Amino acid sequence: MEPLGHGGQGSTFRGVDRDSGDSVAIKVLSLKGAKSWKAFDRFEREMDTLAKLTHPGIPKYLDRYAYETTGDYFLVMELIEGVPLSKHMSEPGLSPRKLRSVLDQILEVLAYLHEQRPPLIHRDIKPANVILRPDGTISLVDFGGVRQRGGGETEATTTVGTFGYMAPEQLHGTATAASDIYALGATILTLLARKSPDALPHRGLRFDFEALKLPEPLAHVLPAMLEPDPELRLANVAAVRAALTAKPKPKAPPRAEPKSNSAPKPAAPSKALVRLPEEALALAKTPAPFSIVVWILAALSSGVLLVFEAVFLPFFFQLATALRNRPSSDPRTVAFQADYERFKTRVGEMRNAAAHVADGTRPSA
């Protein structure tokens, strides 16, 4: 009957079970239209996965069949009546209270998937793949990108997911429970802002949460869910639930400075947040008169690196971006920007080290 959706692993249609008269959803994959065998492998994996799962937030597996002579394969599932959350991007959005309910329900589904042995990673959570039923419950659909964590599968040559909602590590074929947490955070954030991820304000690879002004408790939980570095991100459902129930730390009031008639002494630059290599710390303690030579070289290096970091590096990045002429959502562009940010950070670390050595060996010291 009428089509319900189309994706990389086939098209989904409404159907009717002639025995019971119930409406069903039928996902169809035609090998004639498939670009590679990976699509067929994922379709088989989706069928095998759904056949083993039983959860109210996941469509029930009903049947499978095939017309091998024509290369058409069919997956029959429970039909989820409702509206995909992507509809709320253009229509009146969900209230923060309803979005909190959606978040809690998706977390229940993810907890069920991640607790399987081996764990199952959905890899494509986004508003279009979450159906909101009329009674307010949700269903997570489209398991075409599902992957068994630790199952020995390698897909480093294939990117699975949707740009904007996909965790950065998925660009390299790596997906963990934390990858699903990132995609869920991006889904809730875009529904709150009613804008696609590429239309939201960014600071480098991170969303600009200060500009978005989110309600609590999402204001302190979403940044932790959307941390680009998976090692710093909330790693699993339990961590997200704990963060949602934890009270945000109140901001400490500004300390009153004691009144003094004398001019305040300039504060010494803090190096507590700068991690310096052992070599730089040792060179900063070079005794006189050798310290003068070290000071001259360190001061020159610091100045050159400062000019390179502030002027030449951004210029070359903009030039390379213009010559590549690829959209910002292209995976190669995202990877190139990540490499640029890492290189820029490394240059900044080298400049800080040189400045530390120059500060410690300057003649006036």
- Supply angle C-alpha 154, 155, 159, rounded to 5: 155
CA 146 to CA 153: how far, in whole Å?
Answer: 12
Q: What is the pTM of this model?
A: 0.67
C-alpha pair distances (Å), 266 with each of 90, 161, 263, 269:
53, 51, 9, 9
Q: For the ranges 112-121, 126-135, 338-347, 349-358, which has the lowest average pLDDT?
A: 338-347
CATH of domain 83-245: 1.10.510.10
pLDDT band at 205 (very low <50, low <70, confident <90, very high): confident
Question: Which is more confidently placed, 195 or 284?
Answer: 195
Query: Minimal CA–CA distance to 58: which of 100, 115, 7, 108?
Result: 108
Query: Where are the domains positioned within the chain?
Result: 3-78, 83-245, 278-361
Which residues, including other chains, have CB under 8 Å from residue 124's CB and lie 6 or more apart? Answer: 142, 144, 145, 160, 161, 162, 165, 166, 183
Does pLDDT of 88 surpass 90? Answer: no
Each residue's pLDDT tens digit, 54-84? 999 999 999 999 998 888 999 999 999 999 9
Q: What is the pLDDT of residue 154?
A: 47
Q: Do domains 3-78 and 83-245 have the same CATH topology?
A: no
Average pLDDT rounded to a whole number, residues 163-190: 93
Q: What is the pLDDT of residue 173?
A: 84
- Pairing between β-strand 72-78 and β-strand 61-67 as defined by DSSP bridges: antiparallel
**Residue 192, helix vs strand vs coil:** helix
Average pLDDT rounded to a whole number, residues 202-223: 91
Q: What is the pLDDT of residue 33?
A: 66
Which residues, including other chains, have CB under 8 Å from residue 55's CB and lie 6 or more apart? Answer: 109, 112
DSSP element (H, E) containing 95: none
Bridge partners (DSSP) listed for residue 73: 29, 66
Bridge partners (DSSP) listed for residue 14: 25
Q: Please report, rounded to a whole number, the percentage of residues in the chain having pLDDT higher than 90.
A: 46
pLDDT band at 342 (very low <50, low <70, confident <90, very high): confident
Q: What is the pLDDT of residue 251?
A: 58
Each residue's pLDDT tens digit, 98-133? 999 999 999 999 999 999 999 999 999 999 999 999
240, 246, 247, 249: CA torsion to nearest 10: -80
Question: Which is more confidently placed, 64 or 255?
Answer: 64
Query: Which entry of 41, 72, 104, 124 is annotated as an active-site residue?
Result: 124
- Supply angle C-alpha 97, 99, 100, rounded to 5: 65
Each residue's pLDDT tens digit, 282-327? 777 788 777 888 888 888 888 888 888 778 877 887 788 777 777 6
Active site residue 142: no
- Topology of domain 3-78 in CATH is Phosphorylase Kinase; domain 1 (3.30.200)
